[in-house]
Chain A
Amino acid sequence: MADIKGYILKRLLLLVVVFIGVTALTFTLMSLTPGDPVLIMTGTRPINPEHLQALREMLGLDQPVYVQYFKYLWRVLHGNLGMDFRTGRPVIDEIMEALPRTLLLALCGLSVAVGIGISVGTISALKQYSISDRISMFSSLALASIPNFVLALTLIYIFAYYFRLLPVAGSGSVKHIILPSLALGLGTSGLIARFTRTSILEVVRQDYVRTARSKGLSERVVLVRHILKNALISIITVIGLQFGYLMSGSFFIEIIFAYPGIGRLSVNAIMDKNFTVVQGVLLVVSSVYVLVNLVVDILYVYIDPRIRLAKAEEG
């Protein structure tokens, strides 16, 4: 157990390195922004050069780049991501308002993806090479190949316009989140279905499944306790990785459904050339992504005894 703690500690230390890398990359990205940030901030308003210089000094833009980076890192560590110069509010406040909505959307999308993906993948694997297997695997690949904004527009046309069952856009009720979640999750469900099928087909051929059947267990018990339980171990990693994909996907979905999440916040900021907000969003989204991956890795170690033992031997 001590070795597992060592592994987690090592991962947390690596997280610090990755976090520094993430801040360095977002900082570099913004430093490379073409044009003078002060001029972008002030827009077309006529401002005398002395005021511009004063603003530049106030923002620390007159200092060497590495000093600017360390000051930026220091500010980030204190939860200060700068000010949104359009609204005059701290960027962190705006992100914290939008982030829970995006996380909710991503989680709903993930639930759709996992629910449909694992069910379809399991049925497909159990009826390998049947017509239903072929149709569901082709549909899965097709769903995974259709961009989520295309899926979103199709769903709007069918459910909001043609059948008038659900609202076209907005947020605030359960009805508002159904279509965005489906649009976000259906593509990923295709990937999870394909992966589930492969994973179950590998497990089905194992000796312990044959043993379980030969000792007279019902097919349902064999499926749930022996096949699915073992197949799910590797599926969890894919699900974790897909969470980041769903967060990226929400950028498009939020625009189409006018959903006030982090994606819409950042795309509006991009259009306004409001790079402080863009930088803040990049940093926060990447941090969430890194943390989710870390949690999945740690979870993986806990649920799979083989990996736990391997890590213990390594450690």
Chain B
Amino acid sequence: MQRAFKLTSKSELYAIFYALKKNKPAIISLGVIIILCLTAVLADFLAPRDPAEQNLDYRLKPPNTDYLLGTDELGRCILSRIIYGSRVSLIVGIISVSVSLGIGITVGCIAGYFGGKIGTILMTLVDITLSFPGLVLAIGFAALLGPGINNVMLALSLVGWPPYARVIRGETLALREKQFISASKAIGESGLYIVLHHIIPNIISAAIVMATLGMGWAIISEAGLSFIGLGIAPPESSWGLMISTGRLYFLYSPHTIIFPCLFLSLTILSFNILGDGLRDALDPRLRIR
């Protein structure tokens, strides 16, 4: 059953909020994500030290009162590097998911609503891109572009958009047959107007769920790329990079990777739980149960 009313109506937003409120894990995850966002924004104030500041006399020290989460192989404060690393994870996640979603909505709406030869060409492109394992393709793009945060975001955006396009096209195709779209056409509204004012507001719920789950994928991929040396370049701080360098010392100084691993996994888990919760909250069929 496709919903034929706008998500933006107050009752609908209230219903989603109410359904989400009952899902405790999702609310806790939302709390974790909000704290993470605040940490990223306030990193300059929260970090006890400069994340690049080295103290070679104080290398690989376990957590203590001076360095709450210990120091790494160059005597840098792990807590400060984790705090600044959250900024990288979130920026990469938000920007690559926004770009992927933007391309996905545009391509999905064109292919789904207008169809025709352009639609067929676009969907063939989607099928071809999806025939690559996503992460392998991202590794290929990142290898060509070279390390750096901008290149990571570009690589993840180039790989990330086809799943959005495919789902949005499916939703658009279903909506196109609805009576309210036929009515809009009958009163002479243009195709672009219908897409912007009737199609997009009705596919936003699917897009929000996909984007939330996509954040988890983007953060895991950034960490993976940084882990194999294709992501964030030193001396910048990224959780994946911290795990990559820390693994050389982790048998004797496990704290070098335990904390970045914990923060990384907790962040991805939170986005996945929230994504699941939102999907349940936004799906009226599940809400009735």
**Do B136 and A251 have beta carbons less than 8 Å apart?**
yes
**Do B243 and A153 have beta carbons less than 8 Å apart?**
yes
Of chain B, the residue at the smallest CB distance from A142 is: B269
Asked whether A21 and B128 contact (CB < 8 A) given A33-B144, A267-B228, the answer is: yes
A28 CB to closest chain B CB, in angstroms?
10
**Do A252 and B224 have beta carbons less than 8 Å apart?**
yes
Instruction: Tell me the dominant secondary structure on chain B's binding face.
Output: helix
Selected contact of A157 from candidates B143, B223, B251, B272, CB within 8 Å: B251
**Do A145 and B265 have beta carbons less than 8 Å apart?**
yes
Of chain A, the residue at the smallest CB distance from B252 is: A161
- Interface assignment of B44: CB less than 8 Å from any CB of chain A: no
Cα(A285)–Cα(B125), bound, Å: 18
Tally of contact residues, B, Cβ under 8 A: 42
B220 CB contacts on chain A under 8 angstroms: 145, 147
A82 CB to closest chain B CB, in angstroms?
16
A99 CB to closest chain B CB, in angstroms?
13
**Do A286 and B257 have beta carbons less than 8 Å apart?**
no
**Do B128 and A22 have beta carbons less than 8 Å apart?**
yes
Given contact pairs A146-B269, A149-B224, A252-B224, a sample of 12 additional A-B residue pairs in the complex whose CB atoms are under 8 Å apart: A21-B125, A21-B131, A30-B144, A141-B269, A147-B223, A149-B243, A154-B261, A156-B251, A245-B133, A251-B224, A270-B230, A290-B131
**Do B146 and A286 have beta carbons less than 8 Å apart?**
no
**Do A147 and B276 have beta carbons less than 8 Å apart?**
no
**Do A248 and B133 have beta carbons less than 8 Å apart?**
yes
Q: Which of B115-148 contact A (CB under 8 A)?
A: 124-125, 127-129, 131-137, 139-141, 143-146
**Do B141 and A29 have beta carbons less than 8 Å apart?**
yes
**Do A146 and B136 have beta carbons less than 8 Å apart?**
no
Of chain B, the residue at the smallest CB distance from A269 is: B143
A293 CB contacts on chain B under 8 angstroms: 131
B96 CB to closest chain A CB, in angstroms?
17
Cα(A275)–Cα(B273), bound, Å: 39
**Do B247 and A286 have beta carbons less than 8 Å apart?**
no
**Do A18 and B131 have beta carbons less than 8 Å apart?**
yes
- Interface assignment of A150: CB less than 8 Å from any CB of chain B: yes
Q: Mark B211-231, 1 if CB is under 8 A from A, else 0.
A: 000001000100110011110
B120 CB to closest chain A CB, in angstroms?
12
B85 CB to closest chain A CB, in angstroms?
14
On A, residues with C-beta under 8 Å from B are 17-18, 21-22, 25-26, 29-30, 32-34, 138, 141-142, 144-147, 149-150, 153-154, 156-157, 161, 244-245, 247-249, 251-252, 255-256, 266-267, 270-271, 275, 278, 282, 285-286, 289-290, 293
- Interface assignment of B254: CB less than 8 Å from any CB of chain A: yes
Of chain A, the residue at the smallest CB distance from B143 is: A270
- Interface assignment of B250: CB less than 8 Å from any CB of chain A: yes
Q: Mark B241-263, 1 if CB is under 8 A from A, else 0.
A: 00100010011001001000100
A226 CB to closest chain B CB, in angstroms?
24
**Do B137 and A282 have beta carbons less than 8 Å apart?**
yes
Q: Mark B183-215, 1 if CB is under 8 A from A, else 0.
A: 000000000000000000000000000000000
- Interface assignment of B268: CB less than 8 Å from any CB of chain A: yes
**Do A271 and B261 have beta carbons less than 8 Å apart?**
no
Please, could you name 20 A-B residue pairs with CB atoms under 8 Å apart, sorted by A?
A21-B125, A22-B128, A25-B128, A25-B129, A33-B144, A141-B273, A145-B272, A147-B264, A147-B268, A149-B224, A150-B264, A153-B257, A153-B261, A156-B251, A157-B250, A248-B135, A248-B139, A249-B135, A271-B229, A289-B132
Of chain B, the residue at the smallest CB distance from A243 is: B133
| Most chain B beta-carbon contacts within 10 A, residue among A33, A138, A149 | A149
B143 CB to closest chain A CB, in angstroms?
4
A301 CB to closest chain B CB, in angstroms?
18
B272 CB contacts on chain A under 8 angstroms: 141, 144-145
Of chain A, the residue at the smallest CB distance from B261 is: A150
Of chain B, the residue at the smallest CB distance from A288 is: B133
Selected contact of B227 from candidates A21, A144, A146, A252, CB within 8 Å: A252
Cα(A26)–Cα(B129), bound, Å: 11
Of chain B, the residue at the smallest CB distance from A294 is: B131
**Do A244 and B133 have beta carbons less than 8 Å apart?**
yes
A275 CB contacts on chain B under 8 angstroms: 143-144
Query: Which 3 A-B pairs give the minimum distances between C-beta atoms?
Result: A21-B128, A248-B135, A145-B269
Cα(A32)–Cα(B154), bound, Å: 14
**Do B276 and A270 have beta carbons less than 8 Å apart?**
no
Cα(A156)–Cα(B137), bound, Å: 28
A281 CB to closest chain B CB, in angstroms?
8
| Most chain A beta-carbon contacts within 10 A, residue among B25, B129, B137, B143 | B143
B156 CB to closest chain A CB, in angstroms?
14
Q: Which of B256-289 contact A (CB under 8 A)?
A: 257, 261, 264-265, 268-269, 272-273, 276
Cα(A245)–Cα(B130), bound, Å: 12
